[in-house]
Amino acid sequence: MDYREYIKSRQWKERSRWFIDKADYRCQRCGASGEYNVLQAHHKHYETLGYEMRSDVEVLCIGCHKQADVERRTEAQCGTR
């Protein structure tokens, strides 16, 4: 599955909203509320792309999402994932 196409898909938009709802509209790292911050669903990995479970996705504010992306790239480079 192509990541870029999937992220633009209706399926992902609906799933993303579901994950955000289940996180009570709060960043799961810093606790920022979605009322004042943009929240995004972050893939912890891409192994289940299109079939994500709750444990595969983290709801994050933009700042925490950027940090999580850096961490994921670092893990991939080190071979820890």
Give me the domain span that covers residue 51. Answer: 3-78
CATH code at 64? 3.40.1800
Q: Please tell me the pTM assigned to this model.
A: 0.85
Give the whole-number percent of the chain exceeding pLDDT 90. 81
SS3 percent helix, strand, coil of the chain, rounded to 5, is 50, 15, 35
Please state, rounded to an integer, the average pLDDT across all residues of the chain. 92
- The C-alpha angle with vertex 55 and arms to 67 and 33, in degrees rounded to 5, equals 55
| Predicted local distance difference test score (pLDDT) of residue 81 | 57
In the chain, how many domains are there? 1
